[in-house]
Structure 1
Amino acid sequence: MNPAIALRDVRKSFGPTEIIRGLNLTVNRGERHAVIGPNGAGKSTMFHLISGRLQASSGVIELKGEDITGLRPYEINRRGLSRSFQITNIFPKLSVYENLRCAVLWSLGYRYAFWRFVDRLKDANERAEEVLEMIGLTARRDTPAGVLAYADQRALEIGVTIAGGADVIMLDEPTAGMSHAETEQAVALIRKVSEGRTLIMVEHDMGVVFGLADRISVLVYGQIIASDTPQAIRANPAVREAYLGEEAPA
């Protein structure tokens, strides 16, 4: 079976500086896969490469067995991959519901047409309502997204990420800046929306990582140094020395 995501000897340089240095990563279909690593390790750059926001200097990136190296973000999205960002990326002046409906239109086959009344698109409206209920924002349906509490904005962005029907979703630090209670709610939401999908996430909260991930990859200086189950990663002396801040036993 082809993996959901595969990176083979991927490199990315900015001028003379190589940020991603021969990165190899496999994310299996249907798994929740976390990527951890110290600041500056290249995690966000890796996300940008997979989603097409940056172009690899060399190497191959595959999505569900298809080479997507060099494709533009919208082309990759139409092949079933969607992502969130570290900084919340929503339409602040549109309502919560309108944000979700915008996300579902293209996946349902609707193209740009100024004469079409979106309120009459029953399938788009029903899908938006389903996602609205899934992310727990039904009571804020008509609220402008820009005035939502921070945690609700993050929940909305997760909703937008899944609304188009992507079966591979990427979440970039989904619980950053949240309180403990908000983090617990976000983890429950992520667990729900990733059911039946492939999830790859970058996250600094180790409680979230070890509580959610089926497998964890550790990125250090642009290379994966370990990729294994949470239990094996926790016990790996190289990981503890490079990332968890503990001196590896002799």
Structure 2
Amino acid sequence: MSSASSSNGLALELRDLRKSFGKTEIIRGSSLAVKAGERVALIGPNGAGKSTLFNLISGRMAPTSGQILLNGEAIHGMKPYEINRRGLARSFQVSNLFPRLSVFENIRCAVLWSMGQRYSFWRFLSDLTAVNQRAEEVLDMIRLRRKRDTHVANLTYAEQRALEVGVTIAGGGNVILLDEPTAGMSKSETANFVKMIREVTEGKTLLTVEHDMGVVFGLADRIAVLVYGEVIAFDTPENVRANDRVKEAYLGSVLAESQRAEAQAAEA
């Protein structure tokens, strides 16, 4: 079995996944099969269970029942760092960076962790050639070379989000989870960011939660629609857009709201 994908060509698979908190069932029998190298957007109304699903996949929560397979290997019940070392990396909605460290140092920390390295009093970080080289490569990938030695606290919001993506991919994982990566960005920042995501995830499997329908339809090969803890559709952007059940449950109101916002902006 390849480290990049399972023998059936799937990088990530959810089988009848369920998660309950007390008597409340948040994820209700969700199943999903993501092909290796595929870009998938996960959409759905607020409260649909998207963050819970991400927490289950990345090991921050354990499922009540069901299975999660990464590259054909069962990972449900594993700790987050164990899952990470098997090739899955995740970003978060809330910044998970070290604000007093530089851009380069943040990336290097992520590379060190992924390689199983630890800080020590008798070993200089500057001597870790492979670690430093990988960190420099990621810097170029996320287009923050000119901010290499800048402290994170002094970056713009968009630059911090780019760094978060850099930290996520630093370990070389082949399955990437991005949680609302373009939230809070301007239109031009979003366009540049989507282009960067496409480049840094080339050849990797991407699962992203996203509310901006422009980003969703411009980035995803397929779209999974989660409503009340169930995947009600998983198809190409064109087919999801035309799906009556999706329009009724979610997409129609979102597109209408987006169109109203664009019309108001044009009138202003």
The two structures have a TM-score, normalised by structure 1, of 0.96
AA aligned opposite 2:196: L
TM-aligned CA deviation for residue 112 of structure 1? 4.4
1:229 aligns with 2:236: yes
Equivalent residue, structure 2, for 1:157: 164
What are structure 1's unaligned runs of at least 5 residues?
Answer: none
| Correspondence list, 1:161-200, <5 A | 161-200=168-207
1:97 aligns with 2:104: yes
AA aligned opposite 1:16: K
| Correspondence list, 1:1-250, <5 A | 1-245=8-252
TM-aligned CA deviation for residue 54 of structure 1? 0.7
Alpha-carbon distance between aligned partners in 2 of 1:7 and 1:17, rounded to the nearest angstrom: 20
**Secondary structure, in 3 states, of the residue corresponding to 1:11?**
strand
1:164-216: per-residue Cα shift (whole Å, max 9, x none)?
11010000000000000110111011001110100000000000000000000
**Secondary structure, in 3 states, of the residue corresponding to 1:119?**
helix
Alpha-carbon distance between aligned partners in 2 of 1:69 and 1:6, rounded to the nearest angstrom: 11
**Secondary structure, in 3 states, of the residue corresponding to 2:51?**
helix
What are structure 2's unaligned runs of at least 5 residues?
Answer: 1-7, 254-268
TM-aligned CA deviation for residue 109 of structure 1? 4.7
AA aligned opposite 1:77: N
Equivalent residue, structure 1, for 2:257: none
Alpha-carbon distance between aligned partners in 1 of 2:221 and 2:145, rounded to the nearest angstrom: 30
Alpha-carbon distance between aligned partners in 1 of 2:60 and 2:116, rounded to the nearest angstrom: 24
- CA-based RMSD of the aligned residues comes to 1.0
AA aligned opposite 2:248: E
